[in-house]
Amino acid sequence: MSLTYEFYVQRAEAAQSAADEATLDNVRDRELRSASAWRTMADRQLMIEAERVKADEVRAERRAAEREAADAARRLREGARD
């Protein structure tokens, strides 16, 4: 199961709502801790997604450079044969 930012935010909002409706202090405290944990996970998910995009860009640039180097080497080999 892939957990998304939206899922974490929904869980945080649900916990916050439960905390707002709680009549017992210990229940309110538990739900507030839960909401805080879900928000932390949501923030972490945003960072992971941003890092994944950066890593994909770096890999694409590296592949392009490798292709370009391979093409240049091939052209050199072909030119040496002529």
Q: Which two tokens stand for residue 33?
A: 């801790």
3-state secondary structure (DSSP) of residue 56: helix
CA distance 69 to 21: 63
Residue 11: the pLDDT is 97
Spell out the per-residue pLDDT of the chain, length 82, in tens. 568 999 999 999 999 999 999 999 999 999 999 999 999 999 999 999 999 999 999 999 999 999 999 999 999 888 877 6
Map tokens 């939206």 to a residue: 6
Residue 3: the pLDDT is 83
What is the domain partition of the chain in residue ranges? 5-81
Amino acid identity for residue 47 in this structure:
M
Q: Which two tokens stand for residue 66?
A: 């490798």
